[in-house]
A and B are shown apart, each in its own frame.
Chain A
Amino acid sequence: MKHSRGDEELARAAGAALRDGVRSTAAARSRIMHAVRAEPRPVRGAGPEAIPPRRDFWRSPALGLLAAASIAAFAALVHARRVEGPIAQVPGQPAPIQPARTRAVAATAPAAVPGTIAVTRVQFVYVAPRAKQVSVVGDFNDWDPGATPLEVHGGVWSRELEVAAGRHDYAFVIDGTRWVADPSAPRAPADEFGGEHSVIVVGGER
């Protein structure tokens, strides 16, 4: 939007007039300050017009703990996201199918109540921008590549599963054919069937 020279002059003149309007003399300023000092000072908690007493939010232990827990949880979340960091490309792979992070909240899971099976929500994540399909297989889904497809958002495949407490073997299956271990998790030693897979120990281990 372009302003004409006339507009600018008008604005300048208006500004000068407004500034002139708030000018005061030294005598006027002195009278004002004298009147202010003559007013009684407000006292905390004295009467309905008084300034309300300062409320110490953290004085309540419950609220303080809640706030501390929230801050800690937020910090942990930020930290968890930060440690995932940039995911490097797997050397030697033709397609940029990259290592993934599998997060398990297993370590903090409560122990199982006797007579029940403890389950924990575990998030499986694999980054494969060019994959058409990624699924997770393991002893928790009978190693069925069709049972648990991951959902993709911007090349990041993920899904949360409820996994029973204990040790579990798992792997990712890329495009229905290629079985890969989770590069960010402990690996299981090679078995009779070849291929690598990873291991997770979910809390409340049985």
Chain B
Amino acid sequence: MIRHASKGLAAVLALGAVKAAGAQDMRLSRQLDAATAARVSAIVDHARAVSLPTEPLIDKALEGSRKGAQPARIVEAVSALAARLDSTRAALGAASSESELVAGASVLQAGVRSGVLRDLRVARAGKSLAVPLVVLGDLVSRGVPSDTAGALVLLVAREGLGDETLLAIQRDVQRDVREGAHPAAAAAIRARGAVSGGGTRLRPVRGPVTAGASSLAPGVASHPTSTKPLITGY
């Protein structure tokens, strides 16, 4: 009797689980047409089945909808993101956080090689890669070639410098580029300055920075001040 009841309960739970997995997220139903919502839901279900985070996929669909993207483009973007999340997880490991996976997927889309992700994981074992990957994505978006940006972030990570130093580098490069510096040169100078200076912060580069060996010499822009970022967080 008890055994039959247990079997019945297990069947009900299993049915519920299947139904929950197949249930369409209400946000998708509200925001997308039925066909697009169904296609996105199928991708989300598949991602859930292989233990990938699903929320970023739903966010991507909603973002596309809010920006007025065509349905086909939304489905394509969600599908591509799912693939990148999978690649990122393969590079960073199954224990990676959702933030790391999303940040990693973002830099892969920007052209960073998955080998850089693997190396970063090794260089910062036991620590979150969310901030290094955000900084890496920012550098690429500001015009630093993806290989250069990857190498520089890796250089900083291997030196054991923390998130605050990376954020300080990001802000300095942002300011340098805004003031006319060459993105790659600015990033190289800032990263090398942080590494060579140890616990030092960089002196702002005045005027345009030109690319070339001389401008990349260690210590060119280093200055012994605080490593703490100007603004906590960003």
Contacts and interface: CB of A to CB of B under 8 A. Distances in A.
Interface string A105-117: 1111000000000
Interface in A6-36: none
Contact of B134 (A142, A192, A199): A199
Contacts of B76: 192
| A contact patch SS | loop
Contacts of A80: 231-232
B123 interface: no
A206 B103 CA distance: 12
A118 interface: no
Contact of A108 (B31, B130, B140, B232): B232
A142 B170 CA distance: 27
A34 B199 CA distance: 66
A193 B73 contact: yes
A194 to B, nearest CB: 7
B142 A187 contact: yes
A201 B130 contact: yes
Contact of A189 (B64, B106, B230, B232): B106
User: Nearest 3 A-B pairs (CB), nearest first?
Assistant: A189-B110, A104-B233, A167-B99
Interface of A: 80, 83, 101-108, 137, 139, 142-145, 166-167, 169, 179, 184-196, 199-203, 205-206
8 contacts: A105-B232, A105-B233, A139-B55, A142-B66, A145-B66, A192-B69, A196-B141, A199-B103
